Amino acid sequence: MNYDWAFLPMESATPLLGDRSGLAERMDRDGYLYFDGVLEVEKVVRLRRAMLTALRDVGWIDPDSVLMRGRCAVRPVREGSDEFFEAYDSIQRLEPFHELAHDETLTAIMADVLGEGAFPHPLKIARLVFPAHFEISTPPHQDYPNNQGTESLTATWIPVGDLPSEMGGIAILRGSHRYGVLPLTTHAGAGNRCAMLPAEVLEECRWVTTDFSMGDVLLFPSQTVHAARHNASEFWMRLSVDFRFQREGEALTKGCLEPHFERLGWDEIYDGWSAASHQYYWHDLDYEVVPFEEFRLERPIDETTEAKEFLAYERRLDSRMASKLESPTR
């Protein structure tokens, strides 16, 4: 669901760059900062090329189409499945993926927002979002329950490709950072957790989004509710990355120091890199590692319901894929 269809435009915070108190006021008011066109586009293009090449090598991207358009060649794959990791492990090994988190413009913005000594977590996340895979579009959620540590943890979400609204960029529930940690339930989308939004929050806050372009950066703190719009395109993969930042001296949980999904070791990830300057950089930083707490889930689903939902999902996907093959040029 595209969250009731009603969206306001995101307001650009680019004119506030360098104005720390202006940025703090805006973040405090809205619970997000959207910077359009601040990163060097060439760097994002380089990352896109590397990601799409890795996806083409595992057969996800059509080898007979223009690589940089990202035309999907396979049935959608669920995050966390064996097929998913065939692609995702190679994305995790990409040097430009990890390097983008250390981009000078990005780290300067984060120093303005969080203060000097803000650093990106070693955990770096890429999202590989298939067209017409609506069941697992990232649901409304807050990052705090999945990350924990410090509440001032701040996410940077970066589109790795131009994302007109039909490609499923992120929407923010503006002002939702003021309502504390919300009750949680399960969801099949990224992170597997969905925030249950009280009527009061839905009454008082409005969803905002935009057409994202390469070079844009969206920032939001750990209690801001956000969600992905569906990738409603017929053929194109939506690629994006998430890097989470925090201040030195604050708490984090062990998972934030590990590669996403903890399948590869850092030595495997760093194998073949051209530069060592950002390898193991967190060993010299100051933070406190705190235990990860299991949050109680409202309405947890039992295994039978989960299996039934999975079968229904497979059937819907089968019929969607069949109708796509019947009208391949749409």
- Which parts of this chain interact with ligand AKG (CB under 6 A)? 125, 127, 129, 138, 143, 157, 170, 190-191, 226, 228, 240, 242
Q: Which is nearer to ligand AKG, 92 or 240 (CB)?
A: 240
- Least distance in Å: CB of 79 to ligand AKG? 10
Nearer to ligand AKG by C-beta: 51 or 129? 129
- Could you tell me the smallest distance in angstroms from the CB atom of residue 242 to ligand AKG? 4
Cβ 173 to ligand AKG shortest distance, Å: 12
Considering the complex, what minimum distance in angstroms separates the CB of residue 101 from ligand AKG? 14
Question: CB of residue 241 vs ligand AKG: minimum separation in angstroms?
Answer: 9
Q: Are 41 and 215 in contact (CB under 8 A)?
A: yes
Least distance in Å: CB of 295 to ligand AKG?
Answer: 15
